[in-house]
Structure 1
Amino acid sequence: MPLGLQDLLCSEDVESLELGQSGVGSGFDSDSGSIRSSTKFSFPDDAQEVLVRFIDTESDNSTRSDYQIRLCSHSFDLFARAYSVSWILKACAHHRFLPVTGYLAVNYMDRFLELHRILEEKDWAMQLLAVTCLSLAMKMEETFIPCLLDLQADCSEFVFEPKTIRRLELLVLASLDWRLRSVTPFSFIEYFAYKADPSGKYARYLVSRATKIILSSLHDINILDHRASSLAAAAIICASDEIQDLAFTNPDTAVAWCSGLTQDKISSSYQLMKQIVINNNVQRKQPVILSQQRVMPGVRIEFASLWSSPPSRKRKHEERDTMVT
């Protein structure tokens, strides 16, 4: 029997594609702060077995403790990282990316900076790295992705040519040994929300609120001390603290949500998350976004040269002069 044109069409719609994304099982609505998906969670029979494997491997793509020490010892590194995290989250909200996309972009950036250091004179280099890491993350997680120029629209001080970003993508990929698939808190968050609230009455709110807490925590370098599973559990507990019916949820009860969780790690992450929630009650000052400057291909921005000796004052002016407002 011959096939009609309708037989060649995919049966999936936009919503079903979003539900198939890894991380939070739906798109994140940055305007309402809610999660776009069905009203009820469903998990395969082997869900906990899969999460146990995630816990066993979650430290594979995390940074070493000496990376945090180096960041704290160099004020430029610390400020540049915080600014880049803010840009990544702002760009994700602008393009309505999944929360896991922003998380992965920050993960790639931290793992790259663990191996390399950007000179203070190259202030635009950190922006280029942030754009590149977000570009890689969106290719991993998003169904619909903007072009590289649109990715930087309304969010960047500088606008980099696509071929410049692609060159740096290769360097980042090589530095990360092509290991882009990382375990994130969003691998656990829906399952933990179900464990905290089996009735499902508050589950959607728990996921939405915990997602906001996790994304806010990316600004704090202390998050690098904590594993993804513990951060997810801690964020769900923090969200549960705001619901009277779930006030009994705590690190002691959360440890039973999945094999491999430990009470001390959840407690430590919970204390960090709780502090972040308190701090975020004060309006965070947004970074100043300057008018865009277009970085033309003629500018030398090979990242291999960024860790060489600083350029002379004359050379620096020459670089700036090649940029057009």
Structure 2
Amino acid sequence: MSQSCSNCFSDLLCGEDSSIIFSVDLYSSDLESRPPDVDESIAALLEEERDLAGIDSDSSHHQSIDASARAESVAWILKVQRYYGFQPLTAYLSVNYFDRFLYSHHLPKMNGWPIQLLSVACLSLAAKMEEHLVPSLLDLQVEGAKFIFEPRNIQRMELLVLRVLDWRLRSISPFCYLSFFAFKIDPTGIYTGFLTSRAKEIILLTLQEISLLEYRPSCTAAASILCAANDLPKFSYITVQDAELWCDGLHKDNIMSCYQLIRKVSINNSPKKQPKVFPQVRVMTRASINSGDSSSSYSTSVSSSYKRRKLNNISLVDDVKGSSD
């Protein structure tokens, strides 16, 4: 009987090597504890990152993906990530699944409901991988989702994504390298917290840029940490040549081009400061102050304006209530 049950679930088993499945510590978003073999761990990450990412660094692969549709989907994923306070890694993995799926399995209509369904499924899978508390599939569809899907349809899409990705959801990300690179810049550890936090913000700001798909996670991490370091006057002297020496596998030309792209995109996507709006002050002459008629007319106009706003607000609420009824 037990044999037959195991056969029933044999198709749900992933085909990954056992050494990959149980070496999950390599994929941690931070290596803050700095074990003695951290250099060996980084070397293992560099060796495996291309294979586990599921996407070659060849720049030709992203030409088959609609950049505008992808940017819209990534923007929605980031909105939900901020709405629920998900980890940055959750958003990154969502986009990683999204890109890997589109690279190997084209959807029939990029700007219709299939792309939205894929976005929800990828975000759901990533949240299940990284978050302790995961919203329901219906609650996950917030922040201006154009279509609302039934949970069973999202689950079917999740299974399709899993099959296309060969059940390989644990992917090496730039976050794996951030603490290691930050320690290379600041061995004292005083500024490593700021450097890693700022680099994570930069990575999220640049997720919508499709051109960054050409760069390996280690290169993206090095360029992001370099951008974060250059924001501090204390580390403004850190250059691409310095970053190339942080570990094997980094090349200054790739870091430089990635750095320039990240710097440009992050500046363009940074939230703009709202201009200060000063309240309008009614300037009155001494004559008008002494005139009782002017003061009376002013108070009457303010009162009538307030009444009009109040009536408009009431009518608006009534309209909403009427439409809901």
Superposed pair shares fold, TM > 0.5: yes
Cα distance, 1:192–1:118 mapped onto 2, change above 3 Å:
same
Mapped to 2, the partners of 1:241 and 1:95 lie a distance apart of: 31
Higher relative contact order (CA 8 A, sep 6+): 1
Aligned partner (choices 240, 243, 265) of residue 232 of structure 2 = 243
Q: Secondary structure at the match of 2:148?
A: strand
The number of residues matched between the two structures is 246
Q: SS of 2:195's equivalent?
A: helix
Deviation of 1:258 (Å)? 2.0
Tell me the equivalent position of 1:172: 161
User: Is 1:58–2:30 an aligned residue pair?
Assistant: no
Match of 2:62 among 35, 56, 68: 68
2:172 alignment partner in structure 1: 183
Structure 2 portions without partners, runs of 5+: 1-24, 274-325
In the TM superposition, what are the counterparts of 1:72-91 in structure 2 within 5 Å?
A: 77-91=66-80
Shift of 1:21: 11
Shift of 1:170: 0.9
Equivalent residues in 2 for 1:13-28 (5 A)? 23-25=28-30
Checking the alignment, whether the CA contact within 8 Å between 1:217 and 1:273 is kept in structure 2 is: yes
Secondary structure of the equivalent of 2:113? helix
| Aligned residue in 2 for 1:46 | 37
Distance 1:264 1:221, change over 3 A: same
Q: AA paired with 2:125?
A: L
Q: Is the 8 A contact 2:27 2:176 kept in 1?
A: yes
**What is the 5 A alignment of 1:208-247?**
208-247=197-236
Give the Cα separation in 2 of the matches to 1:245 and 1:122: 46
Q: Which has the higher helix share?
A: 2
Q: Tell me if structure 2 keeps the 8 A contact 1:23–1:184.
A: no
CA contact (8 A) 1:21 1:142 kept: no
Distance 2:49 2:257 in 1: 17
Corresponding residue to 2:119 among 130, 139, 150: 130
Task: Output one character per residue of 1:195-249: Cα deviation in whole Å (capped at 9) or x when no partner.
Answer: 1111222211111111111111111111111000010011010011111111121
User: What is the rounded CA distance, in whole Å, between the counterparts of 2:86 and 2:26 in structure 1?
Assistant: 11
| Alpha-carbon offset, residue 67 of structure 1 | 2.7
TM-score, normalised relative to structure 1: 0.71
Higher Cα Rg: structure 1 or 2?
2
Unaligned 5+ segments in structure 1 are: 1-19, 27-40, 72-76, 285-325
Q: Note if contact 1:24-1:186 (Cα within 8 Å) is conserved in structure 2.
A: yes
SS of the aligned residue for 1:267 comes to helix
* Distance change >3 Å, CA 21–CA 51, structure 1 → 2: closer
Q: What is the distance in 1 between the residues matched to 2:190 and 2:177?
A: 19
Q: RMSD of the TM alignment (CA)? A: 2.2
Check whether the contact 1:21–1:141 (CA below 8 A) recurs between aligned residues: no
Distance, in Å, in 1 between the alignment partners of 2:172 and 2:26 is 14
The one of 103, 125, 148 aligned to 1:114: 103
TM-score normalized by structure 2? 0.71
The Cα shift of 1:149 comes to 1.4
Q: Give the Cα separation in 1 of the matches to 2:111 and 2:247.
A: 45
Q: Which of residues 275, 278, 283 is equivalent to 2:264? A: 275
Deviation digits for residues 158-217 of structure 1, max 9, x if unmatched?
Answer: 221111111011111111111111110001111111211112222111111111111111
Q: In structure 2, how many angstroms separate the alpha carbons of the residues matched to 1:63 and 1:208? A: 26
Per mean C-alpha deviation after superposition, the further-off stretch among 197-206 and 163-172 is: 197-206
CA contact (8 A) 1:235 1:270 kept: yes
Q: Structure 1 pair 69/63, CA: closer, same or farther in 2 (3 Å)? A: same
